[in-house]
Amino acid sequence: MAKLFEPITVRGLEVRNRIWVPPMCEYSCENRDGVVGDWHLVHLGSMAIGGAGLIIAEATGIVAEGRISPWCPGIYNDEQVVAWRRVTDFAHSQGAKIALQLAHAGRKASTHREQSGNGSVSIAEGGWQSVSSTSEAFDGYTAPRELETHEIPVLVQAWAAAAARAMAAGFDAVEIHAAHGYLLHQFLSPLTNKRTDEYGGTLENRAKFVVDVVAAVRQAIPNDAPIFVRFSATDYAEGGVTPDEIATVAKWCAENGADLFDISTGGLITGVKIPTGPGYQVPFSETVAERVGQPVSAVGQITSAEQAEQILQDGQIAVVMLGRQSMRDPHFALRAAHELGVEIDYWPIQYSRAKWPKN
Ligand SMILES: Cc1cc2nc3c(=O)[nH]c(=O)nc-3n(C[C@H](O)[C@H](O)[C@H](O)COP(=O)(O)O)c2cc1C
């Protein structure tokens, strides 16, 4: 039995295998109302058909101004809950589990999508004023407004309300987005957090926002529903966050009810050199896994069944996530089972003739 196909239980959630799909923005809520539609159903649904264990749906705004772009989904009203329910029901009908990434883009909010242009969407074009730990702009974007201290607990509560809505929408778990230069990462990194209030300065202060979010989300969802947190373990820049610091923050999050850490890197600033290659982020995941007694996932240029299996065999990593490979091959898990000769009982009946290509 390949490790890839061993079930895993995280808190109260049993997942059929360790081939997961990480969150991927689709910029496809055409009405700019944060309501998902057919694209999301088919895109995520095809990965559920394709045997993925758990799919994390894309960065979804906890408030309207937290969306990355006007075309990104939200989870701040009832219409959005109903629309997401269609997606989660279908994923469950295929035996997959599905989580929602709860996000606030901070100073990287209100941006264009690839087909609409570059940089920020202006207020005149239907964009909005972004907010951040700082008033310094992300390269090429409009400057954010620095959040006042009293506004931060309001956002913490918005995260909790969004998590409760995610549960109402049928999601099995939530992922708090604290990576890729979005709001919680902006607070975590000394490069973008020069605050003098209780949310700036020491690591404990810079981590207060994300730790408070984890604690509030824990209160807002059932005890058996898992919380994942995605971190960038490095900013690839002098003076940025380090893997050791992130491992410490992950521990604090675990003490407040987080269950699994999804380790990525980068995204905070431009102009840095990122040494990419197959599995390039795995060592960062391993550093966090060594320090934190919770499951940790690995993501980034994992593309073949053999490579994915080897990462799990090495022992530290609990789950692999395949992003772009899942877009190229939404039925990756079925094909991996076929390639590794693993018998699984979740080939869709409609696809059973593809199981063994006898003729
Ligand atoms: C189109 C696209 C959209 C993405 N959107 C998100 C997102 O919403 N949230 C997030 O945390 N990461 C996002 N990512 C990063 C992926 O989750 C993943 O970490 C990255 O693509 C590296 O994995 P891969 O090499 O398997 O694709 C996105 C990546 C792509 C390609």
**Residue 217, C-beta contacts closer than 8 angstroms, at least 6 positions apart:** 102, 159, 160, 163, 174, 176, 227, 257
- Quick one: pLDDT at residue 353? 86
**DSSP structural state of residue 106:** G
CA of 24 to the centre of ligand 1 (A): 5
**pLDDT category, 359, cuts 50, 70, 90?**
very low
- The SS3 assignment for 40 reads helix
What's the mean pLDDT in 100-122?
98
The answer to whether residue 359 is domain-embedded is no
Least confident of 129-138, 298-307, 344-353: 344-353
Is 10 inside any structural domain?
no
Residues with CB under 6 A from ligand 1: 22-25, 58-59, 101, 177, 179-180, 230, 264, 299-302, 322-325
Q: Is 321 among the domain residues? A: yes
Look at residue 3 and tell me if it is in a domain. no
Task: Please state, in angstroms and rounded to a whole number, the distance separating the CA atoms of residues 319 and 18.
Answer: 5
Q: What is the pLDDT of residue 176?
A: 99
- Number of domains the chain contains: 1
Q: How confident is the model at residue 358 (pLDDT cuts 50, 70, 90)?
A: low
Q: Whole domain around residue 234: which residue ranges? A: 20-354
Mean pLDDT of all residues in 197-213: 98
Tens-digit pLDDT profile for residues 65-93? 999 999 999 999 999 999 999 999 999 99
Q: Is 319 contained in some domain?
A: yes
Cα 325 to Cα 302: distance, rounded to the nearest angstrom: 8
Residue bearing the CA closest to ligand 1, atom 18: 323
CATH number of the domain enclosing 32: 3.20.20.70
What are the C-alpha distances in Å from 296 to residues 64, 191, 261, 279, 285?
A: 30, 26, 5, 15, 6
In a domain, 13, yes or no: no
Q: What is the mean pLDDT of residues 160-165?
A: 98
Ligand 1: which of 24, 228, 329 to mutate, judged by most atoms within 8 Å of the beta carbon? 24
Length of the chain: 359
Rounded CA gap, 189 and 278, in Å?
26
Mean pLDDT, residues 263-268: 98
219 within domain boundaries: yes
Look at residue 2 and tell me if it is in a domain: no
Q: Reply yes or no on whether the pLDDT at 356 is more than 80.
A: no
Q: Where are the beta strands (DSSP E) in 215-272?
A: 227-232, 260-264
Q: Is the entire prediction scored with pTM above 0.75?
A: yes
